[in-house]
Structure 1
Amino acid sequence: MAVDVAQLVEQAREGRPRAVARLISLVEGASPQLREVMAALAPHTGNAYVVGLTGSPGVGKSTSTSALVSAYRAQGKRVGVLAVDPSSPFSGGALLGDRIRMSDHASDPGVYIRSMATRGHLGGLAWSAPQAIRVLDAAGCDVVLVETVGVGQSEVEIASQADTSVVLLAPGMGDGIQAAKAGILEIGDVYVVNKADRDGADATVRELNHMLGLGESRGPGDWRPSIVKTVASRGEGVGEVVEALEKHRAWMEERGVLGERRLRRAATEVETIAVTALRERIADLHGDRRLGALAEQIVAGTLDPYAAADQLVAGVTES
């Protein structure tokens, strides 16, 4: 059933959580009105500071996110949270574990929390996360916190979606070499060693400093990632994390890096939408005589797969 998009956007701008929820549901469900939604939101976007939080399961991402919400609310800022959960094997939806941990903020009208299911998308985010961030931005959130699913070493997609990326680690969660694998130490702007009341916290900080220094090629004015120790469950060190985030934001604004990151993010979003549309059109060709004819030529040896793919793409884009 069609909805009044203009009215929904107006209500979301007024801070009505049901309108925000409805807009994100339209995004997640790839509604036929999605283009209309994005067009209506566009003039109201570009103001939110997007912070991504990533790290292995068990490091305290949800607790840290909740503590950051409290810190930003103490500053009077409106906060949106996208907590990406693993998909339920039964319903396909999110398991909602993160929302349970953030229940302290459930009744705060200045906080909007949304769990999103990955629905099989790899990299720690849901495929619709960029559009959901856009909804929260347009709804007047000053800060949007995006908490990834916690898949571990390969969870680097958040770096392309956030203004500032926070990587969380904890003592006893593996040695420094393990932490440095697969680029997880290449995406962080701020590193947080949570559960710092445990033995080994100082050693983890030393390992981090060592890893960040290996092969370092930063110039005099380049950003040097901050390392902050916290005990998020008690709120300890959270103020220092917010301070580190604000320093990084100020550095990016001063050097034009923030604008560059947002341009890259927009370009990636456009590319993803375009590739998805092309993939859907190509999928529609299964059983089509053109695809069958190309396959016959490949089997007969009269055409190679790359030339066949070029013909297929040309046919799809021209039709």
Structure 2
Amino acid sequence: MDGWLRLLKQKDKRTIARLITKIEDGSPEKNQLLEKIFPETGKTFLIGLTGPPGAGKSSLIDGLITKIRQVGLSVGVIAVDPTSPFTGGAMLGDRVRMTKHALDTDVFIRSMGSRGNVGGLSRSTREAVRVLDAAGFDVVLIETVGVGQAELEIMHLADTVLLVLNPGAGDIVQVFKAGIMEIADLFVVNKADLSGANRLVTEIEELLDLQQWEWRPPIVQTIASLNQGISECWSQIIKHRQHLEETGEWVKRRQNHLRQEVLELLEDSFYQFLKQEMKKPEFEAELEQVALRRKVPHQVARIWLNRILFGKKE
């Protein structure tokens, strides 16, 4: 076994950090490293946390780390932050709230910049999670950047998705219409000591009543800053995992995640190839014909698709 892989499986924090940095930076070794670790993955329980900025996701994660360690499990955290326009890195860095766990060898926390990705996750998030999976962490918590309805990407990565809301965060009906509520496996009403918490719970219940659910997402009230409701939250997470395993949805969900990943990689590769093709003088000439209204856009698209895929020329 390669030395670095042995250190990775020992949860060596320096090795983990270096691997994730290489992935983020697009190192020439990246694909080779990912191929090495992939057979070691697939065992970690992936929990996603999403919701609007200020909902208290980081405080909730801090409480969950403590709870997960109390039950004897190791935990990794990938927190996706807005990207600094100056450094290109995560603006918040490794979360200040979580520093009390820094010396625990069975806890690893990493912030990643979103790097302009609008889906709530960094493009490298999935691969960084895979590093923690290969390292043998029992649970990995993934916190999205918190940008509202664009955060649907988390459903293609996590086994269980928590939607964190708080009183006064806006019209819950609008959030529901945006589609983000439909990806939740568990609702967490955080900052439940604020006025309006019970009303928010009632509104969520009323909206849930509008649909039939094989798994009706439970609602947990927490005050994460005071560590209240964290045990109940963890209990509901475990119940959801049991539901996934008992119904066969666990395997199905993971297969769908891998299918989605391959599709995204294909789309990205094809897009990069197309960008190169579009630089050719012949393509520019075709665009000129479109600008002069001599050709229709879909006609040019069809011509170039046939040329690229089948070598046909019209």
Fold similarity call, TM over 0.5: yes
**Alpha-carbon distance, 1:78 to partner:** 1.2
1:217 alignment partner, SS class: coil
Partners in 1 of 2:180 and 2:229 — Cα distance?
Answer: 22
Distance 1:28 1:317, change over 3 A: farther
Indicate the residue corresponding to 1:237 in structure 2: 229
Distance 1:276 1:153, change over 3 A: closer
The residue type equivalent to 2:95 in the other structure is: R
Q: State whether residues 52 and 146 of structure 1, in contact with CA within 8 Å, keep that contact through their aligned partners in structure 2.
A: yes
Uncovered stretches (5+) of structure 2, i.e. residues with no partner: none
Uncovered stretches (5+) of structure 1, i.e. residues with no partner: none
The residue type equivalent to 2:96 in the other structure is: I
The residue type equivalent to 1:243 in the other structure is: S
Pairs within 5 Å for 1:214-229: 214=210, 216-218=211-213, 222-229=214-221
Q: Do residues 104 (structure 1) and 100 (structure 2) align?
A: yes
- TM-score by length of structure 2 reads 0.93
2:64 alignment partner, SS class: helix
Q: Do residues 91 (structure 1) and 87 (structure 2) align?
A: yes
Q: Do residues 284 (structure 1) and 276 (structure 2) align?
A: yes
2:69 alignment partner, SS class: helix
Partners in 2 of 1:14 and 1:247 — Cα distance?
Answer: 29
Distance 1:317 1:108, change over 3 A: farther
Indicate the residue corresponding to 2:159 in structure 1: 163
Partners in 2 of 1:217 and 1:37 — Cα distance?
Answer: 44
Partners in 1 of 2:247 and 2:196 — Cα distance?
Answer: 36
Distance 1:305 1:200, change over 3 A: same
Q: Do residues 269 (structure 1) and 264 (structure 2) align?
A: no
The residue type equivalent to 1:12 in the other structure is: L
The residue type equivalent to 1:88 in the other structure is: S
Partners in 2 of 1:30 and 1:314 — Cα distance?
Answer: 32
The residue type equivalent to 2:279 in the other structure is: G
Indicate the residue corresponding to 2:24 in structure 1: 28
Indicate the residue corresponding to 1:117 in structure 2: 113
113-122 vs 298-307, which moves further: 298-307
**Alpha-carbon distance, 1:315 to partner:** 4.2
Indicate the residue corresponding to 2:129 in structure 1: 133
Partners in 2 of 1:183 and 1:96 — Cα distance?
Answer: 28
The residue type equivalent to 2:304 in the other structure is: L
**Alpha-carbon distance, 1:285 to partner:** 2.6
- TM-score by length of structure 1 reads 0.91
Q: State whether residues 46 and 142 of structure 2, in contact with CA within 8 Å, keep that contact through their aligned partners in structure 1.
A: yes
**Alpha-carbon distance, 1:42 to partner:** 1.1
Which of these residues, 171, 196, 209, is aligned with residue 205 of structure 2?
209
Partners in 2 of 1:153 and 1:300 — Cα distance?
Answer: 39
Q: Do residues 154 (structure 1) and 146 (structure 2) align?
A: no
Q: State whether residues 66 and 102 of structure 1, in contact with CA within 8 Å, keep that contact through their aligned partners in structure 2.
A: yes
Distance 1:83 1:302, change over 3 A: same
Indicate the residue corresponding to 1:295 in structure 2: 287
Percent identity of paired positions between Structure 1 and Structure 2:
42
CA displacement 1:255-304 (0-9 Å, x = unmatched) = 11111111111111111111111111222234323423433454566653
Partners in 1 of 2:33 and 2:198 — Cα distance?
Answer: 48
Partners in 2 of 1:276 and 1:106 — Cα distance?
Answer: 36
CA displacement 1:120-152 (0-9 Å, x = unmatched) = 100211111111111111111111100011112
Q: State whether residues 84 and 149 of structure 1, in contact with CA within 8 Å, keep that contact through their aligned partners in structure 2.
A: yes
Q: Do residues 7 (structure 1) and 3 (structure 2) align?
A: yes
Q: State whether residues 185 and 212 of structure 1, in contact with CA within 8 Å, keep that contact through their aligned partners in structure 2.
A: no
**Alpha-carbon distance, 1:81 to partner:** 0.4
Q: Do residues 56 (structure 1) and 82 (structure 2) align?
A: no
The residue type equivalent to 2:152 in the other structure is: V
Partners in 1 of 2:236 and 2:98 — Cα distance?
Answer: 23
Partners in 1 of 2:309 and 2:105 — Cα distance?
Answer: 46
2:142 alignment partner, SS class: strand
**Alpha-carbon distance, 1:161 to partner:** 1.3
Partners in 2 of 1:10 and 1:283 — Cα distance?
Answer: 40
Which of these residues, 8, 14, 18, is aligned with residue 18 of structure 1?
14
Q: How many residues align?
A: 311
**Alpha-carbon distance, 1:317 to partner:** 4.8
